[in-house]
Chain A
Amino acid sequence: MTTEVGSEAEVKKEAEKLEPDTAKEKPEEASESLENQKTEETEETQDSSSSPVPTSQSSPTSRKERDPSEGKGISRFLPPWLKKQKSYSIAEPKDEAKKKAEGDEHVEECERQLPEEVAELKGEAAAENHQTKTDDKEEEKHSVSSAETQPAKEDSKEIEVEKVTEEPEEKLEEETGKRETKEVQTTEIKMEKAPQKAPKKIKTVQCKVMLLDGTEYSCDLEKRAKGQVLFDRVCEHLNLLEKDYFGLLFYENSDQKNWLDSSKEIKRQIRNFPWLFTFHVKFYPPDPSQLTEDITRYFLCLQLRQDIVSGRLPCSFVTHALLGSYTLQAELGDYDPEEHNSDYISEFQFAPNQTKEMEDKVVELHKTHRGLTPAQADSQFLENAKRLSMYGVDLHHAKDSEGVDIMLGVCANGLLIYKDRLRINRFAWPKILKISYKRSNFYIKVRPAELEQFESTIGFKLPNHRAAKRLWKVCVEHHTFFRLISPEQPAKGKFLTLGSKFRYSGRTQAQTRQASNLIDRPAPYFERTSSKRISRSLDGAPVGITDQSLLRDLSATAAGPTGDEAAVLAKLKNGESREEDGSPIKSPPLELTQDGKNNSLKVDGENIYVRHSNLMLEDLDKTQDDLLKHQASISELKRSFMESTPEPRPNEWEKRRITPLSLQTQGKVGPRAEGPCSGARDADKSSHETLSVVEEKKRAEVGIEETVVINEINEGKIQVAIDGGEPCKVEQLSKKDSSSTSSESSSSSESEDEEVGEYQPYHRVTEDVIREEKEGNEDAKEVEGYTAKVVQCVESVIEGSKEKVSIGHAQVAEESLVEGNAVSGTPEEKSFTEEAKQDLREEREEEQLKINGDLSHIGIDVKPQIICCSEPPVVKTEMVTISDATQRTEISTKEVPIVQTETKTITYESPQLDGSAGGDAGVLLSAQTITSESVSTTTTTHITKTVKGGVSETRIEKRIVITGDADIDHDQALAQAIKEAKEQHPDMSVTRVVVHKETELAEEDEG
């Protein structure tokens, strides 16, 4: 594993060089990030010159570049020897999985992990996002940042480079790759640098994909190909550029549909041959008029026609008729009395139960569409279809806590709960703090409602564990796609994780919109002849469920991958649709449990702090308790806003929905009224996605379900096994499970079979935040208040034998911009990764947007005052357990785990900040983050410039983390930090200081 460092660093450099270059191509968009980047670079140079590290070009680079690879999480607090450990720990589960899947080659797999996969990748250049474990972070980070800045255009550059080195047979693949995001390209670059290996004998497998028009596409794929390869081929075949809305489905047990994960090998996902897939819309765009190309809309239409005919998308009679008439217009053109005799319509199916009356109505309406081009007819179709209440809602059968049958519907806006046809609850994404599953249970943790103090966790029972996981994944993907600017990093860097690390890895809607704005090609020609083609394909070809006529004729006999829909159809034939399972009427009280965890926290700042910690905990690891994570990382702060964010605001598309339809023209490009982001601002915002969060410790948990973890416990030097506190509801459950069903507890590391998974939807879309604030309700103000209080902090953390003091966020405000301060020492502690930087910058920015109403207060020089002090070292937390919906026995208990950690938080701040909530937001000019590091100190400096009411304000926030093995004089360190801050910015004032100290007691855990 260590051998890869060299090549990695090299690659990294390469990527680095590339980035500014490519960024130049789109200066306006990239300017901000470029600026930041430059500053960072300068900073790094300065930094290294001031530290004992040699300033030669390569050495610092490689060090710095390697650091990020370790992730922004725990790892930076780890001594190097442990880091190595970490990379193994990550590799292991994967190997484990492989072993399971293949039943052999364990050792070989381990060894070839890096080089061979790389070689393989070369063969399938389009496979995005494939990285070896240790460097994946940096890769991703780069891909993110570059994707931000140059969404699509720069591709040609990379392609050229590749053509030099790649084998000719791969050209085709690369062509596909052209449309990929930067992610792919960085990978490719890396691969070039990676040691070349002679291609192995390639085994191929035939794949068949049912397309939306009822035809079948088949191709041979290398056995080890990733989902992305196939998906790209299909999209290429379809000539589809805006492909992020689509996906490939495969069926499990003929009725469970699963999305093919692009980032994983196909053979690990689909167990049986032949490989049969269905091309399907995965994310229904809430406003199809925002799609760039007509061809994309056409495929969406085909999907919707299928959805309608199968009954998945219920409509009224009139809507059936209207949509049907647009279908006719699109496929046949204007009504022609001569050509379109009475039965021209009979080859179409418009509804599950089509009547003569309906057909007459369709014809009648068809006549009124004279003059509409096919593209316009499709647009009209979509304008009407998108208003249907079940449009884009992915339904899952479940039971509530009382065992009542319900349906969970995942859509762009959140999670909908249906009982029969009725909507009985709805959880918009901003309301959901965490999504998790545990075996066959699915949980959502929601924000406290108004006037409520505690979050509640709501549990649902799915038919089985795979269904629960499927639902969870769909939720994660929908949230990411529709709510985030760019995807989150998968939590691969975690030291100890259990459960699924699954994250959505594709582009988000924001990214795909941005990318499609750059589509510059003549509108591709395509034929809208689905119905005819379908009828032809009836003679024998194993056609999927696709088209109307097919469905009509074949619904009873649909087989293979279409089983699911056939079943639905069969039901429909009986005049029932899926939702009408007709169970007794009973208002199902959803299970609500409240977390009692915050009860004991009375002090203002403290409270907030802990809340952050909780969040962070839940987020990064499932096995820790509240107190271990008292690092007030900015992301936590950010989350605290989010936590107190009021009711969800209307989404962009909601608003757009109201706006009249503008008929789409062929191949339209150029900026539209953009969604959550556009242009340069996007680029700047994109890093919101990173999961961020400074995690200072890793923990092990007793009874975790992955063997790897147990190994880790054996090897790890500083973990303390800890019983989960509040955020560990699920973990507590897992313990129970592991004691009761031990067979499951030891070996479930196979990737597709995780028992648990968690995901926390962070609502980082800045615009949302802004919008929310503008609405100006009390919640928002409250939020501001919080922020103001917690923004700045100086923290100290002592961990195990190491000790960390972090002094951060010594905030200063004035018209000066200062570079970060470096505390001298020997370089040992890891710096923030660049990701973290980005992240912080972003967060900072967001914060700024939230709170810059306060800035006017900040300029006043006030001596820090202590407003809150330490919390008890041992916190009792109450555990909440969700009862299983089917077994009516409550298994919830109250456990009071004792935390083997001492934490202490002291906050100093200017009193001004308190009253400073409110005020209007200024305009953010720039935000940047600078990180410097030395021996045991990491300093992160955030500089944000805003203009409010003509006055420009600069806010600097420093976060210093000191880690040490020996005792550190914290007071002195703090004093030093404050002094330095004051010296560096004499004309600014320190407004807030937070010290956080964390001491880990020992490993004497009984676990």
Chain B
Amino acid sequence: RQGAAHHAVVRALPESVCQQALRVEKGGAVDFARAEREHQLYVGVLRHKLGLQVLELPADESLPDCVFVEDAAVVCEETALLTRPGAPSRRKEVTEAMKIALESLNLNVVEMTDENATLDGGDVLFTGREFFVGLSKRTNQRGAEILADTFKDYAVSTVPVHDSLHLKSFCSMAGPNLIAIGSSEGAQKALKTMQQMSDHRYDKLTIPDDAAANCLYLNIPNKGHVLLHRAPEEYPESAKVFEKLKDHMLIPIANIELQKVDGALTCCCILINKTSEL
């Protein structure tokens, strides 16, 4: 089931995120306190509102981007692929703490050791049927190949990403078989590529703002479709689009601060859905 999860891995944000986190373009300074509040709200939703077992790793001041756990590991079913992030400063995010956390969840952990490979989890879109891997500044072909070798059951198609940091900077899954896609030219082009490469037909939800197209979909027992999306205060037009999803439980989440350092909603957690007994 797409979006099914019972565990989530998150990581607290270090203060260094304000000054040292990587960013695509200069923007306003990150208000740490506010960023922390937003993040706590986010984690609170996962833990309390949705009832996930949240494993929260401590912040590491030497890893300013460590809050964006998504980039560090790709988890699908019972296999976790520890990535080799494209930004050298982030490579340590993958070590120890993350590995231990994933192993503690009884995941079959695979490490990406090839020094020619780079892969950011933010470039990996798993649709429930197949993977799309954005070939971006952070992710290369070799990284995608290793992903394909790790998740052999699924087709892995590559999608060139030029104008954005990650593939998921402008898209994400918003439901089973439903891709939320931004309106920018780059986003639409990427969607076309994905459609062409796929044997499956996805529904698409076109979101006016690229950043808002990154939303977090979950399928929670007794709650059904749950969608965490950017708050109307941030992206009023996009929020209206999400509000049309009648079957979804919609949870607006503000992500103002972390967005300044290229953080999106999916970036801050790794969802785990081990079909347990397997």
B135→A389 contact, CB < 8 A = no
Q: A316-B153, A317-B108, A587-B135 are in contact. Are A424 and B199 (CB under 8 A)?
A: no
Of B141, B151, B192, which is in contact with the most chain A CB atoms at under 10 Å from its CB? Answer: B141
Residue of B with least CB distance to A387: B153
Number of A-B contacts (CB under 8 A): 81
Stretch at the interface among A415-423, A527-535, A615-623, A877-885: A415-423
A318→B141 contact, CB < 8 A = no
Our pick among B141, B153, B160, B195 for the contact of A389 (Cβ within 8 Å) is: B153
| Nearest-Cβ distance from residue A386 to partner chain B, whole angstroms | 11
A585→B140 contact, CB < 8 A = yes
Our pick among B148, B154, B196 for the contact of A426 (Cβ within 8 Å) is: B196
Our pick among B149, B156, B201, B278 for the contact of A318 (Cβ within 8 Å) is: B278
Of B116, B144, B195, which is in contact with the most chain A CB atoms at under 10 Å from its CB? Answer: B144
Check A314 for interface membership: any CB of B closer than 8 A: yes
A585→B108 contact, CB < 8 A = no
Our pick among A421, A426, A450, A585 for the contact of B116 (Cβ within 8 Å) is: A585
User: Which residues from B are CB-within-8-Å of A585?
Assistant: 116, 140-142, 145
Our pick among A413, A425, A580 for the contact of B149 (Cβ within 8 Å) is: A580
Residue of A with least CB distance to B150: A316
B153→A650 contact, CB < 8 A = no
User: Which residues from A are CB-within-8-Å of B16?
Assistant: none
Contact with A along B258-278 (1 / 0, CB 8 A): 000000000000000000011
Bound Cα distance from A428 to B201, whole angstroms = 12
| Nearest-Cβ distance from residue B131 to partner chain A, whole angstroms | 9
Residue of A with least CB distance to B198: A426
Considering only residues 586-617 of chain A, those with a C-beta below 8 Å from chain B are 586-587
A422→B141 contact, CB < 8 A = yes
Number of A interface residues, CB 8 Å?
33
Contact with A along B145-169 (1 / 0, CB 8 A): 1001101111111101000000000
User: Which residues from A are CB-within-8-Å of B140?
Assistant: 585
Check A322 for interface membership: any CB of B closer than 8 A: yes
Our pick among A318, A389, A422, A649 for the contact of B78 (Cβ within 8 Å) is: A318
Residue of B with least CB distance to A650: B201
Considering only residues 414-464 of chain A, those with a C-beta below 8 Å from chain B are 419-426, 428, 450
B278→A654 contact, CB < 8 A = no
Residue of B with least CB distance to A411: B199
User: Which residues from A are CB-within-8-Å of B197?
Assistant: 423, 425-426
User: Which residues from A are CB-within-8-Å of B192?
Assistant: 450
User: Which residues from A are CB-within-8-Å of B31?
Assistant: none
Bound Cα distance from A423 to B195, whole angstroms = 13
Of B79, B153, B156, which is in contact with the most chain A CB atoms at under 10 Å from its CB? Answer: B153
Residue of B with least CB distance to A427: B196
| Nearest-Cβ distance from residue A654 to partner chain B, whole angstroms | 6
| Nearest-Cβ distance from residue A102 to partner chain B, whole angstroms | 45
Check B130 for interface membership: any CB of A closer than 8 A: yes
Number of B interface residues, CB 8 Å?
35
| Nearest-Cβ distance from residue B135 to partner chain A, whole angstroms | 7
User: Which residues from A are CB-within-8-Å of B156?
Assistant: 389, 421-423
Residue of B with least CB distance to A425: B197
Bound Cα distance from A322 to B199, whole angstroms = 24
B155→A389 contact, CB < 8 A = yes
Bound Cα distance from A361 to B195, whole angstroms = 36
A316→B135 contact, CB < 8 A = no
| Nearest-Cβ distance from residue A631 to partner chain B, whole angstroms | 34
| Nearest-Cβ distance from residue A642 to partner chain B, whole angstroms | 18
Contact with B along A309-338 (1 / 0, CB 8 A): 000001111110110000000000000000
User: Which residues from B are CB-within-8-Å of A319?
Assistant: 152-153
Bound Cα distance from A811 to B248, whole angstroms = 52
Bound Cα distance from A389 to B198, whole angstroms = 10
User: Which residues from B are CB-within-8-Å of A649?
Assistant: 201
Residue of B with least CB distance to A322: B278
Bound Cα distance from A424 to B198, whole angstroms = 11
Bound Cα distance from A604 to B140, whole angstroms = 45
Bound Cα distance from A428 to B199, whole angstroms = 8
Considering only residues 200-239 of chain B, those with a C-beta below 8 Å from chain A are 200-201
Bound Cα distance from A426 to B157, whole angstroms = 9
B200→A650 contact, CB < 8 A = yes
User: Which residues from A are CB-within-8-Å of B198?
Assistant: 426
Q: A317-B108, A585-B141, A654-B200 are in contact. Are A388 and B149 (CB under 8 A)?
A: no
| Nearest-Cβ distance from residue B112 to partner chain A, whole angstroms | 14
A422→B201 contact, CB < 8 A = no
Check B111 for interface membership: any CB of A closer than 8 A: no
Our pick among A422, A425, A450 for the contact of B148 (Cβ within 8 Å) is: A422
Our pick among B129, B133, B141 for the contact of A587 (Cβ within 8 Å) is: B141
| Nearest-Cβ distance from residue A776 to partner chain B, whole angstroms | 15
User: Which residues from A are CB-within-8-Å of B77?
Assistant: 316, 318
Bound Cα distance from A413 to B200, whole angstroms = 10
Bound Cα distance from A580 to B114, whole angstroms = 15
A315→B141 contact, CB < 8 A = no
Residue of A with least CB distance to B144: A422
Bound Cα distance from A365 to B278, whole angstroms = 8
Residue of A with least CB distance to B154: A389
A423→B141 contact, CB < 8 A = no
Check A744 for interface membership: any CB of B closer than 8 A: no
Residue of A with least CB distance to B200: A654
Our pick among B155, B195, B201 for the contact of A654 (Cβ within 8 Å) is: B201
Check A170 for interface membership: any CB of B closer than 8 A: no
Considering only residues 48-64 of chain B, those with a C-beta below 8 Å from chain A are none
Residue of A with least CB distance to B193: A425
User: Which residues from A are CB-within-8-Å of B277?
Assistant: 368
| Nearest-Cβ distance from residue B75 to partner chain A, whole angstroms | 13
Check A914 for interface membership: any CB of B closer than 8 A: no
Bound Cα distance from A804 to B79, whole angstroms = 70
Our pick among B79, B129, B148, B195 for the contact of A647 (Cβ within 8 Å) is: B195
User: Which residues from B are CB-within-8-Å of A321?
Assistant: 278
B145→A422 contact, CB < 8 A = yes
B142→A424 contact, CB < 8 A = no
| Nearest-Cβ distance from residue A408 to partner chain B, whole angstroms | 15
Our pick among B129, B158, B160, B196 for the contact of A422 (Cβ within 8 Å) is: B158
Residue of A with least CB distance to B116: A585
User: Which residues from B are CB-within-8-Å of A368?
Assistant: 277
| Nearest-Cβ distance from residue B160 to partner chain A, whole angstroms | 8
A413→B145 contact, CB < 8 A = no
User: Which residues from B are CB-within-8-Å of A426?
Assistant: 157, 196-199
Bound Cα distance from A654 to B277, whole angstroms = 28
Our pick among B116, B152, B157 for the contact of A423 (Cβ within 8 Å) is: B157
B149→A421 contact, CB < 8 A = yes
| Nearest-Cβ distance from residue B148 to partner chain A, whole angstroms | 4
Bound Cα distance from A422 to B200, whole angstroms = 17
Residue of A with least CB distance to B199: A413
User: Which residues from A are CB-within-8-Å of B195?
Assistant: 647
Bound Cα distance from A423 to B192, whole angstroms = 15
| Nearest-Cβ distance from residue A825 to partner chain B, whole angstroms | 53
Can you name 19 A-B residue pairings with CB atoms under 8 Å? A314-B153, A316-B77, A316-B151, A322-B278, A368-B277, A387-B153, A388-B153, A389-B130, A420-B148, A421-B156, A422-B141, A422-B148, A422-B157, A426-B157, A450-B192, A585-B140, A587-B135, A649-B201, A654-B201
Known contacts A389-B155, A654-B201; can you find 18 more A-B pairs with CB under 8 A? A317-B108, A318-B278, A319-B153, A322-B278, A361-B278, A389-B154, A419-B141, A421-B148, A421-B156, A422-B141, A422-B157, A423-B156, A424-B157, A425-B197, A585-B140, A587-B160, A647-B195, A654-B200
Interface residues of B (CB under 8 A from A): 77-79, 108, 116, 129-130, 133, 135, 140-142, 144-145, 148-149, 151-158, 160, 192, 195-201, 277-278
Q: Which 4 A-B pairs have the closest CB atoms?
A: A421-B148, A389-B155, A585-B141, A650-B201
